């Protein structure tokens, strides 16, 4: 019996051993394709072209990287820890300036403190925070 396999639209004569190995490989490939469709599995590389990588179709170039998110989270945790070590008055000053966006002048007027005194306190608190964050 003669055995043939099709390569680029041409029937090529092969031995029985090669024919069986080819059929077994072709059957495995078909089995995996069938199980993928049965399990509704989809691979992004099925969308690959010469100009485009299939997984790039679903990426968000404007999204923040995982490393950036992790670094920001770590820095915020450090800042929370450093802020908890400040006195209540220092925390209030920073909260009024950065959370509620009060100006130094408005906060000084509300507390009846000279603006220059408040500026000096503000600078001292920021230096204190910077030292704690650099540790």
Give one DSSP letter per residue of 81-122, joined into a string: HHHHTS-HHHHHHHIIIIIS---HHHHHHHHT--HHHHHHHH
Residue 76 predicted with pLDDT over 80: yes
Structural domain span for residue 20: 3-58
Q: Residue 121 and residue 94: Cα distance in Å, rounded?
A: 10
Residues 71 and 45 in one domain: no
Residues 99 and 83 in one domain: yes
Chosen domain end from 58, 80, 101: 58
Q: Residue 94 and residue 32: Cα distance in Å, rounded?
A: 61
Residues 73 and 46 in one domain: no
Helix (H, G, I), strand (E, B) or coil at 5: strand
Residues 49 and 70 in one domain: no
Residue 42 predicted with pLDDT over 70: no
Express each pLDDT in 25-40 by its tens digit.
877 787 777 777 677 7
**pLDDT for res 47:** 74
- Structure tokens given for 8: 């680029």
**pLDDT for res 90:** 93
Please give the model's pTM, rounded to 2 decimal places.
0.52
Per-residue pLDDT averaged across 90-118, rounded?
Answer: 92
Total residues belonging to the chain: 135
Q: What's the total number of domains in the chain?
A: 2
Chosen domain end from 38, 58, 78: 58
Chosen domain end from 58, 86, 104: 58
Residues 36 and 8 in one domain: yes
Residue 55 predicted with pLDDT over 80: no
Phi and psi at residue 60, to the nearest 5° = -110, 105
């Amino acid at each position: 019996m003669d055995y043939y396999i099709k390569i680029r639209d041409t029937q090529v004569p092969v031995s029985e051993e090669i024919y069986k190995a080819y059929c077994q490989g072709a059957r495995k490939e078909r089995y995996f394709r069938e199980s993928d469709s049965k399990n509704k599995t989809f691979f992004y590389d099925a969308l690959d072209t010469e100009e485009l990588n299939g997984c790039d179709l679903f990426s968000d170039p404007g999204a923040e990287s995982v490393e950036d998110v992790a670094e920001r989270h770590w820095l915020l945790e450090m800042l929370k820890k450093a802020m908890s070590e400040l006195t209540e008055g220092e925390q209030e000053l920073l909260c009024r300036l950065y959370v509620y966006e009060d100006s130094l002048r408005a906060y000084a007027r509300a507390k009846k403190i000279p603006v220059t005194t408040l500026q000096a306190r503000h600078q001292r608190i920021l230096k204190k925070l910077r030292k704690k964050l650099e540790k």
